[in-house]
């Protein structure tokens, strides 16, 4: 390779030289790796990757270009993008633009032509950490001189860590919007249920999956109050995926406790799972390198079925994985809880189910755009939880 045009600098001082990919300049963030062999467009536009530099472990990225149908949000959220061999040109009838062009147009700094296998092994051994990508003007000081590796490392060291970061409000919608049930035989003329979805970094496919089941979804900002949620008369409340440290999400946890106290059916995904754990009184902790990809095996303990699932999380719930436990918050007022799902690679908690409240959550992504659909039944479970509660209330009122 000729003279490198970009460098990747890790917080521990390791440096990788490569080529500029996408925009030039510099970017910093927590560097993480994604093991998916497909779905890079969905990854780039997932708000959960806010302030993270994503390394794709699959070597060839960009083959299918970029289209206007697959984004999970209105923009790219990753702080930076790292690939080994970018496709020189896209090859898909759905493609509208090349990947490098899209990254450049949205000012996303990337790097290519580096050994992503060595980088991934390094992050598995040392854990995810802060990093920076520097190219073009990002490699130069004000006088136009090349910055030293130590200069670049100082920039990385000044970046804020992910631990303690409260980021949901930075990615959440600012105004409420509604996703109506899909017309046709699924929904008929009216909704089977109304859900208030708290947007902590929601992916567009989540309300889509609910709409396919005849559900009307009001997506509301992360700053929503309990009174505003109740005013929408929800049959159920949903907490989405999102970025940041769940221990910093004080407002969201208090909101969720209001939902639980009113026994409104609740479903949480990813960040929503972590927040349910914290609302119940369990702790959360940061994983060494997290789970990110579309090939993670998880067991549903209710059925003993193993699902291949899509993940994107760097934190996890600290709850007993065997038997029933009493939720620790406020002397156990939320009753019994079980860990409903567990990761088979490392035993991490992947789901919670309340036995005395209509609430459950999973750590992975059952909407699984560009991923397996093994866990799609969880949306059916949520609908069943809401409709069965409504049926019981109707029967009670008639008597």
The C-alpha atoms of residue 192 and residue 297 are separated, in whole angstroms, by 32
50 flagged as catalytic: no
Q: Which residues are annotated as a binding site for L-glutamine?
A: 48, 242, 244, 274, 312, 314-315
134: nearest Cα among 235, 203, 74, 53: 53
Q: Which residues are annotated as a binding site?
A: 48, 242, 244, 274, 312, 314-315
367 flagged as catalytic: yes
354 flagged as catalytic: no
- Residue 28 C-alpha from the chain's centroid: 19
Half-sphere exposure of 75 (CA within 13 A, CB side): 13
Per the residue annotation, which of 42, 50, 270, 313 is the catalytic one? Answer: 270
Question: Which element (helix H / strand E) includes 121?
Answer: helix 116-126
CA distances from 1 to 24, 109, 383 (A): 19, 20, 55
DSSP state string for 294-352: EEEEEEETTTTEEEEEEEEEEEEEE---SS-EE--GGGTTT-EEEEEEEETTT--EEEE
Tokens (6 digits) for 290: 């997290």
The C-alpha atoms of residue 348 and residue 157 are separated, in whole angstroms, by 30
Residues whose CB falls within 8 Å of the CB of residue 38, separated by 6 or more in sequence, listed in order? 58, 294, 370
Question: Which element (helix H / strand E) includes 40?
Answer: helix 40-44
Q: Which residues are catalytic?
A: 270, 365, 367
């Amino acid at each position: 390779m000729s003279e490198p045009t970009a460098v990747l600098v890790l917080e521990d001082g390791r440096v990788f030289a490569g080529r500029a990919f996408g925009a030039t300049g510099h970017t910093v963030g927590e560097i993480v790796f994604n093991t998916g062999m497909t779905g890079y467009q969905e990854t780039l536009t997932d708000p959960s990757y806010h302030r993270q530099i994503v390394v794709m472990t699959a070597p060839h990225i960009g083959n299918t270009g970029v289209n206007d149908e697959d984004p999970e949000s209105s923009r790219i959220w990753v702080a930076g993008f790292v690939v080994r061999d970018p496709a020189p040109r896209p090859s898909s009838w759905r493609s509208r633009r090349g990947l490098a062009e899209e990254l450049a147009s949205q000012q996303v700094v990337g790097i290519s032509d580096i050994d992503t296998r060595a980088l991934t092994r390094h992050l598995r051994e040392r854990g995810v950490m802060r990093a920076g990508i520097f190219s073009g003007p990002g490699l130069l000081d004000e006088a136009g001189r090349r910055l030293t590796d130590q200069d670049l490392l100082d920039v990385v060291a000044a970046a804020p860590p992910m631990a303690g970061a409260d980021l949901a409000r930075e990615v959440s919608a600012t105004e409420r919007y509604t996703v109506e049930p899909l017309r046709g035989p699924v929904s008929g003329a009216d909704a089977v249920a109304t859900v208030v979805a708290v947007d902590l970094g929601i992916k567009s496919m989540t309300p889509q999956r609910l709409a396919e089941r005849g559900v009307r979804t009001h997506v509301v900002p992360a700053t929503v109050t309990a009174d505003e949620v109740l005013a929408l008369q929800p049959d159920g409340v949903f907490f989405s995926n999102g970025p940041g440290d769940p221990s910093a999400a004080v407002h969201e946890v208090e909101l969720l406790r209001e939902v639980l106290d009113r026994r409104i059916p609740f479903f949480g995904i990813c960040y929503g799972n972590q927040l349910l754990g914290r609302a119940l009184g369990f702790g959360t902790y940061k994983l060494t390198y997290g789970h990110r990809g579309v090939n993670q095996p998880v067991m549903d303990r209710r059925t003993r079925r193993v699902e291949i699932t899509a993940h994107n999380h760097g934190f996890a719930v600290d709850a007993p994985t065997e038997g029933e436990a009493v939720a620790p918050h406020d002397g156990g007022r939320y009753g019994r809880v079980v860990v409903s799902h567990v990761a088979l690679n490392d035993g991490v908690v992947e789901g919670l189910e309340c036995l005395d409240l209509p609430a459950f959550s999973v750590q992975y992504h059952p909407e699984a755009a560009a991923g397996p659909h093994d866990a799609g039944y969880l949306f059916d479970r949520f609908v069943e939880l809401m409709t069965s509660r409504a049926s019981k209330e109707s029967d009670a009122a008639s008597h």
